[in-house]
Amino acid sequence: MKAKFFCILCLMSLSLASYSAPRIVVQELGTTTEALTIQHSDSDDLNGILAVMVSPTPWHPVNTNPADQEAAFTDGQGLGGLTGLLNDCLRGCGTSANQNVPAAVAEWYFSEPHNIAELRVFTGNYGHDGRIFHHYDVAMTTDPFPEGASYDVPLIEEVTPVPSGIPGVGGFGLVGNPNSPGTYEASLSVVNDDAGGPLAEGVTGMRITFYQVSNTAGAFRDDWNAGEGDDRDGQDAGFESPLVYEVDLFFGNAPITNPTGVTDWSLY
Ligand SMILES: [Ca+2]
Ligand SMILES: [Ca+2]
Ligand SMILES: [Ca+2]
């Protein structure tokens, strides 16, 4: 996330008489993709709408099949070997220069305004390493021309499938999903509104900023170096990226999923 946005959100939450906000209602890890309690959809309202990538070099060099690139986010299909694999090491592998550098920024444009009920993001890796995790920010626009809109007002930031931060106090920052055979194959986050209404109204476009999430040991890392910005795990920024195998979005005026809690993380 960008630090300045964090302060804007603080001020907004203080100024609202009754608090309502986007919330993460499901954070879940699955030992297989099928083990997730919610499966990716081939009939959601984003299905078939192709993403437009607005950051340079969003794809990992081995991800060369168009079916594994933009199309993979919204094709209604599940995980494959390279499905939606984002680029690594945007500022070098294992260096501290990856701080706050997104792996990829994707936008979707709608032909008419819609209210947004719920967002779901699925990532995974048959390799059972740190690429199963994800970390993203979401912004939406009501601009009649969503292509080229600023998207400078965030809807929600720091969406993750497990708490980021220091192990022992609720975080996965140092442990994560160790390299093969790590326990988990996939992860899911679901976002809707805690007041029971739409996440946003009159939306014409959505931007998701995906961050690099891991290191070569499978740890789940945030996007800031130790002690910098919004660092939550005391470690350097991640430099390996996830395989985003589906992004589901549902139009409507009410949440679809009630809070369901989390997978049992006591394994850690
Ligand atoms: Ca879908
Ligand atoms: Ca897919
Ligand atoms: Ca960090």
- Could you read off the pLDDT of 170-182 as tens digits, one per residue? 566 556 777 777 8
The CA 38 to ligand 2 mean position distance, Å, reads 14
Whether residue 266 is contained in a domain is answered as no
Measure the CA–CA gap between 239 and 266, rounded to whole angstroms: 26
> What is the average pLDDT across 137-143?
96
Measure the CA–CA gap between 1 and 228, rounded to whole angstroms: 12
Residue 4 has pLDDT above 70, yes or no: no
Q: How would you class 186 by CB atoms within 10 Å of its CB: exposed for 0-12, middle for 13-18, buried for 19 or more?
A: buried
6 versus 19: which is more confidently predicted? 19
- Which are the contacts of 11, defined by CB distance < 8 A and separation ≥ 6? none
Residue 92 has pLDDT above 70, yes or no: yes
> Phi, psi (5° rounding) for residue 10?
-60, -45
Count of domains forming the chain: 1
Q: How far is CA 107 from CA 51, 54, 104, 141, 255, in A?
A: 6, 7, 10, 10, 22
Whether residue 64 is contained in a domain is answered as yes
Q: What is the pLDDT of residue 94?
A: 79
Measure the CA–CA gap between 54 and 29, rounded to whole angstroms: 29
Whether residue 93 is contained in a domain is answered as yes
Whether residue 267 is contained in a domain is answered as no
The CA 43 to ligand 1 mean position distance, Å, reads 6
Measure the CA–CA gap between 155 and 146, rounded to whole angstroms: 15
Whether residue 138 is contained in a domain is answered as yes
Whether residue 53 is contained in a domain is answered as yes
Whether residue 41 is contained in a domain is answered as yes
> What is the average pLDDT across 232-250?
93
The CA 244 to ligand 2 mean position distance, Å, reads 8
Residue 163: give the domain boundaries.
Answer: 3-15+22-257
Confidence of residue 240 (pLDDT cuts 50, 70, 90): very high
Whether residue 268 is contained in a domain is answered as no
The CA 164 to ligand 3 mean position distance, Å, reads 9
- Identify the sign of the CA torsion 207, 149, 98, 61: positive
